[in-house]
Amino acid sequence: MSTIRFTGILVLLMGFILLGCAVGVPKLLFIPETLSPGKTGESYLVHISSARTASPVFVLEVMEGDLPPGLSITLDEDRGQAILSGTPTTAGDFEFTLRAVCRGTQSAGQDAMKHYKLSVE
């Protein structure tokens, strides 16, 4: 009987560990929630950070859509945030989706996407 209990406890414990890896990691939050509008010919700078990260952000990419012409996005690995900067050259409404990925040696990792709309006057 004690062997069966031990095996059952071990299986139960393994199940919690596996579930913890799959669902125990909180969802990333992107800050800011929305982007302020820009103006053609004027410098634009926004820092986009992630909250509730279990490990550092190591991938940040535009998955869908396009940034306004003249703007680019880079990852500041030291601060774990994106820098959206440049001088927009074209007016319009631009929509894009950012993807952030966090991976660590002691965590299951996180992967999240955020849809943004940026209006340029």
Q: Would you say residue 19 lies in a domain?
A: no
- What is the DSSP pairing of strand 71-76 with strand 81-86? antiparallel
For residue 11, pLDDT beyond 60 = no
Give the pLDDT score at 15. 40
Task: Map residue 80 onto helix, strand or coil.
Answer: coil
In a domain, 30, yes or no: yes
pLDDT for res 104? 61
Structure tokens, 9? 């406890």
Read off the pTM.
0.69
Is 12 contained in some domain? Answer: no
Residue appearing with tokens 């929509």: 95
Helix (H) or strand (E) holding 4: helix 2-23
Range of the domain at 35: 25-120
| pLDDT tens per residue, range 70-107 | 999 988 877 778 899 999 999 999 999 988 776 665 55
The CATH number of the domain holding residue 54 is 2.60.40.10
What is the per-residue pLDDT for 89? 98
Is residue 31 included in any domain, yes or no? yes
Whether 54 is in a domain gets the answer yes
Residue pair 86/120 in contact by the 8 Å Cβ criterion: no
Q: How far apart are CA 116 and CA 59, in angstroms?
A: 17
Q: Residue 99 in contact with residue 60, Cβ under 8 Å?
A: yes
11 within domain boundaries: no
Q: How many domains does the chain have?
A: 1
